[in-house]
Amino acid sequence: MQRALTLLITTFIFSFLWACSSVSEQPWTSMVPAESSFLIIPKENVSITNISDTRYASILEDITASSSQQIASFDPEVLSTLSLKGIVIFPSRSTESELIWITSANAPIDTWVQKFYKPLSQNYYTIKGNTIHKLEAKNGTVLYASQVHDWLV
């Protein structure tokens, strides 16, 4: 079940990046897929780590299979460098949705993604110059991340 979900998310990211033969510098809202069900734009001071304190956190938990608490507990050091811009609810199956987190990164992610790589494993994919990193945390959470200019999806 989790492999199917991971494959679905990876396929979405591949499709998204494949459609962009050359990604020009655009606002973060251009990263929101047209098929999205919902877009949440948090207040300026809301970060990924304290998203569970917001009034819409329970809605996210109810309508998505992925937990916002999983990403909030990912790696505090890394999450502190990210500025949350938007949360996209993307339909992954007929009755399920997934969260896509859009953040701005203060620095290239290449400086920290390698600490989440696993030996003898496919840790990243490159499509038309865009790299999708597979991030495996110690708590078992697996995330996929790609940096497009200053935006981290």
Find which of 7-21, 47-61, 62-76, 118-132 is predicted with most confidence, using mean pLDDT. 118-132
Give the per-residue pLDDT at 78: 83
The least confident of 51-65, 75-89, 90-104, 112-126 is: 51-65
- Position 1 pLDDT exceeds 60: no
Give the per-residue pLDDT at 133: 92
Report the predicted TM-score, pTM, of the whole model to 2 decimal places. Answer: 0.75
Give the per-residue pLDDT at 142: 84
pLDDT digits (tens, 9 = 90+) for 8-62: 566 556 555 555 545 567 788 888 888 888 888 888 877 887 877 788 777 777 7
The DSSP-derived string for 85-138 is EEEEEEE-SSS-EEEEEEEEESS-GGGTGGGG--TTS--EEEETTEEEEEEE-T
Q: What is the largest CA-CA distance in the chain?
A: 42
